[in-house]
Chain A
């Protein structure tokens, strides 16, 4: 069945550091790919998406490119802020259903 694998956390960075959170997926066909973010005390919210191979999703300085050849959708940001501290979930969508990874906690210190 469909599955999503994310790098283990927590990822601990200093402010203005470069961020990469790895995500790979297993699925037949051509799923859509997503990153959701959960800030402390809040519900998950959609951060960015890509619906086909080579698409790049971007939002709030975050980017991820849908790489079909490596079945990956890694999340990147050039310069993180303390306010980016949250849990990040990679997800794939097929047949109107989302399958989530386990989440990666990001902690950014001043």
Chain B
């Protein structure tokens, strides 16, 4: 069974440029999560989807971050414009709704903003 797929794995951009990250969850998982992981820190939730509905986006900085999960499968997280402080690893995870604490994580996208 394929795991959570994320792309790209690495991205280097200049500040003020836009960037997008893509995630394909495990087949059948209706819940999808985007996390931010700063160096030396644990993952912090940005947004949680149940199917195509964002049910918790309270920690998403909506002035520059946006996300979508069309058709309740793949998801895209976008930053526009990027700032130096956005340099971090962006993790995607998925789970069954009835077992939301057993999350399966992708390898992450490491973003460097210069």
Contact = CB atoms under 8 A, between A and B. Distances in A.
A46 interface: yes
Report, as a range, how many residues of chain A touch the other chain.
20 to 34
A44 B56 CA distance: 21
A49 B45 CA distance: 19
A80 interface: no
Report, as a range, how many residues of chain B touch the other chain.
20 to 34
A43 B40 contact: no
A45 interface: yes
Contact of B103 (A4, A98, A102): A98
A101 B48 contact: no
A42 B91 CA distance: 11
Interface in B81-114: 91, 93, 100-108
Contacts of A96: 48, 56, 100-101
B55 to A, nearest CB: 8
A44 B101 contact: no
Contacts of B45: 97-98
A43 B3 CA distance: 9
17 contacts: A4-B42, A32-B101, A38-B105, A42-B107, A43-B4, A43-B91, A43-B108, A44-B91, A96-B100, A97-B48, A98-B45, A98-B103, A100-B44, A101-B42, A102-B42, A103-B40, A103-B42
Given A34-B101, A44-B105, A103-B42, 8 more contacts: A4-B42, A43-B108, A49-B101, A96-B48, A96-B56, A98-B45, A102-B41, A103-B40
